[in-house]
Amino acid sequence: MPAVRGKLELDAPLGKLTWFGVGGAADMLFNPADAGDLAAFLQSIPHDMPVMTLGVGSNLLIRDGGIAGAVIRPGKKFAAIYCAGDDIIAGAGAPDIAVAGAARDAGLAGFEFLRGIPGTVGGAVRMNAGAYGREISDILCSAEVMDRAGNRRTLGPEDLQFSYRHSVLSDDMICISARFRGIPGDKNDIARKMQQIADEREMSQPLRTRTGGSTFKNPDGIKAWQLIDGAGCRGLARGGARVSEKHCNFLINDGMATAQDIEELGEEIRRRVMNNSGVELEWEIRIVGRKAGCDD
């Protein structure tokens, strides 16, 4: 066991840390005390040990066989948010909603869409998260990351090569913090826009259920939910997993689902959509880990 100042667990259950509430254990789960502690940990484990980062577990499906190697969970120690002129600097563990709130309080517009993204800054940067016509690449100035050897680097948008729900940030590059730029605006207008987003999400999405957020990326020119609905998948079930009747681009754990149920349901949706429309849906939810009974 490496000597660390943060919390380190072996064979740590991960399901309770994800929105779906499913998935196996991590060989090793580490909550670092700070960036220095994280660097020391990375330098002390075998260089070929796989490493991945876990935020609040939204937009993530961990398979039932768990995660090989080390899972890094930057938590409250990485959640600081502060304002510097027109910029907001936020730690990787800061909730996107909290960043939107900090920008509102500072009178900075352009962050309102983050009110509709239920994740953390680190995950948002990695996947170029977006909602309501905006995405992280629209506001990001730079991201501080740590490589597998514990070295810190600052990357700009051009380095991250953002595209729709994607960046080139690899699993072994861990986001530490990010700097975002806003535009001075009226606090009341910003607050109204944020409330509109919150109200719309409440009306259109199954927020009170165990779900992972939007399941599939929107293909060019059409919404994924329209393709899913058109293929007759609204309410479709597999084991304890079900397609939401409220918004059919959301999969739901009815309480007894396994990760395998959810993944197989998603693949059945992809098959039916392809047969019905000729469009191949691409997962937006990230699927990681080993299937049950597998060692790799």
Cβ neighbours of residue 249 closer than 8 Å, sequence gap 6 or more:
214, 215, 216, 223, 224, 225, 228
Dihedral sign from CA coordinates of 282, 284, 289, 291: negative
165 given a catalytic annotation: yes
Say which of 73, 115, 165, 210 is annotated catalytic: 165
284 given a catalytic annotation: yes
Say which of 58, 167, 214, 244 is annotated catalytic: 214
267 given a catalytic annotation: no
DSSP 116-177: G--SBHHHHHHHT-EETTEEGGGTEEEEEEE-TTS-EEEE-HHHHT-BTTB----TTSEEEE
Dihedral sign from CA coordinates of 23, 24, 25, 26: negative
Please identify every residue annotated as catalytic: 165, 214, 284
